[in-house]
Structure formats: C-alpha cells, structure tokens
Amino acid sequence: MDKLIIEGGTRLDGDVWISGAKNSALPILAATLVASEPVTICNLPHLHDITTMLELLRRMGVELTVGDKMSVELDPTTITEFTAPYDLVKTMRASILVLGPLLARHGRAQVSLPGGCAIGSRPVDLHLRGLEAMGAQIEVMDGYIDARVDGRLKGATVFFDTVTVTGTENILSAAVLADGETIIENAAREPEVVDLANCLIAMGAKISGAGTDTIRVQGVETLKGCTHSVMPDRIETGTYLVAGAITSGRVRTRNTRGDILEAVLKKLEEAGAKITQGDDWIELDMEGRRPKSVSITTAPYPAFPTDMQAQFAALNSVAEGVGRIKETVFENRFMHIQEMIRLGMKVVVDGNTATIEGVEKLKAAPVMATDLRASASLVLTGLVAEGETPVERIYHIDRGYECIEEKMQSLGAKIRRVPA
C-alpha cells in the first residue's frame, strides 16, 4: 500500500489541469444503457471507480472502444446480461445507477445491494419506491434487487422526502424512456445532475427543470447516440484552490468553471484570496498573505458542499482567527480532524460543529487517510506543517483524485509517493 510523504513550507505557484468529475461520469456511463446507438463519453477521469463501472458495463456485454484523451465509445446494443454482481458493486456503490436505465430499456435488472447497506436504509429505498411508482415490480432477495416491468415504465410523479443525488439520477435515466410524463419533485439540484440531463438531452430525451427541485421528463420511444464531455470536477478544483490559499500562494485551475462552485469561491474571498476567472479557468492569489478564518455550514447544492468541508478545516487550522464548521449533510464526517490534531490543530468538536482556532505553525506527524474527499485535507495540512508528513492509506485519496502528487508537484509542492 502506497503512502505520500509531504515536506511542508513551500508556497505553491502554478497552473493545474482539472479532471472530469467522477460523480458526473458514473451516472452518465450508466445512462448510456438507454441509447439504441453507440455513445461517446469524453473527459473521463482516470480513477478506479470509472474503471470498475466500465468493467461492469463490459461484463453486461456492452462493447467498449477506448479512444485518446480519456474518451470511451460504448455500444449498448450488444448487451446480453442484465445483472450487476456483488463482486463489482461492493467496491463501488454507484453500481446502483444501472438499475433505472436497464429497467427502462430492457424491462429487467438485477443489482446487488450496495455493500454495508441495511435493506431498509433510506437511499436505496428511495430509488426503489420511485421505480415502483413507475410500474416496476421489485423484490429484494438473496442480497439482490430484482426489478422487472411488463412493457414500458409509466410516467409518474416521484416525490423524494429526502434529497438524493443518485436517486434523482436513477429516476431521471429511467423516465426518459417511460410512457408519458414523469415529474421528479424535491429533486437534487447538483451540477452533476444537470450534466447527466444534458447528456440525455443530446441523445434526444425531453427534459426540463434540471438544476431546479422539479424536473419534468416527457418519455420518448428510443434514444440515439451522442458525444458528450463530462463536466469538470468542482471538488478537485476547490481542493487545489485551497492548496494555493493555505500556502499563501497562487494557483490557476484550468479546464474548469466558476459557476459550479460559487459558494466555495465566496468563502475563499472571505479568507483574503484574490479570485479571478475566465471561461475555463479560475485563479486564486493570496499575494503572500496568511489566510483569515472563515465559518461554513454545509448543505445540499447550491450551498457549501460537504465534500469541501475538510479542506476548509485544513485552511482554518493555520488561518488568522477562529472559524466554525457546521456539518449538516453527513454524520461522523470529522474523522480527519482527529488526524489533524496530531499536527497541532487547535479545535473543539461539539456534535456536528468544529470550532478551529488558527495556529501560526503545524508540526509534521504521521497521519492516516479515512475517507475519499476528506483525506485530501491531510495533504493540504502536510503542505504547511514543519518537517515531513507521511500520509498513509492513500487509496482513499486515489479513489477521488487523479495523480494528486503529480499535480501538486507541478505547483511546486514537495510531495512524493512511496510504497508503504
């Protein structure tokens, strides 16, 4: 198992290329199953979950042709299997996303329950209730969701009592081939949902309201092929901008967009950063200043994203003043803070709120990655800690960030990967 060794104290300065968004690429790859012609998806990030999703589609019989620059052509007309087996689903919960498309296009689907999910657990339950409202017959047996429908799915009004991104995506991908109109109420508004909708629209789907809390879909009989480029990863963009801020440096992120992370940019300006942006780039310049503490509350899009919370905890750890971080989206999302305390962070955690008093210097110590997005924050604290910080269990980081050490090196960071 690899680990990263980071030597702190370097001010970052440079440009970094942002990868395609994994959380957009996965639902889009699953949704190619609804097409009746080959579909080309570009700007895919080179990440383990993407490889797993492609392997899942390949096992179903989809013909894959890998092109240059991270593009893949998928031919869903060659499909022979309608099952997502446990050995693939257990490593990637997003496999549930093939359920809606398979059901809509082929009238049947068998998907293993995501690992570690109690059957009554809400997220999967919401997907199933939505599909049942559209006429699907669903049984859960032997750890598999077995779904069937006679003929086409029927348009329906699907109301989510909790906002669910994958639930919205699953119903949206199914509704495009349903008979009649489907209305998704209390839909997720994330840009990744909009990106999926844009891809389906390019195939000929009739969708309005993506990006709002009510999405309307007029079902069509068949969908054609298209070429679609996956949107940039807003969390990766935000992470590299924070890397610039925490080191009092200058970072320009390329191949990205400012409109997908306005809440984050606003907080970076509050921390004292000068932000400039163009059509496909965002630049942060601290002009050598130490960042100021900021307070944030996470909430579903367009509010401040939970996946950027840990990065701002890192920023506050060396900022001037006291900042409060309130986490309202996920429970138990402060595991990274226990690791940061080892580097000298001054923090008081009370329930879902962490109050952080910035210190002038952090000191290097061994730390361990705990989950995907939060773990990048340990790399950020390593950039400003005196000495060498080893970060272990970095497979968590590799799941969400493409070549993090190479990208950080290109900005001037002293970081290297070593076999543990």
Query: Which residue stretches of 255-370 are H helix?
Result: 262-270, 309-317, 335-341
- Any residues with CB less than 8 A from the CB of 180 and at least 6 apart, and which? 154, 155, 218, 219
CB atoms within 10 A of CB 51: 12
Contact 8, 386 (CB under 8 A): yes
199 is catalytic: no
Distance of CA 130 to the CA centre of its chain: 23
The single-letter DSSP state of residue 381 is: H
- Which one is catalytic: 42, 117, 226, 403? 117
Cα separation, 377 vs 313, whole angstroms: 8
- Any residues with CB less than 8 A from the CB of 21 and at least 6 apart, and which? 45, 192, 195, 230, 231, 232, 233, 234, 235, 236
**For the chain, the helix, strand and coil percentages under 3-state DSSP, each to the nearest 5:** 35, 30, 35
Cα separation, 323 vs 294, whole angstroms: 5
Angle made by CA atoms 44, 188, 205, in degrees to the nearest 5: 65
Give catalytic residues, as residue numbers. 117
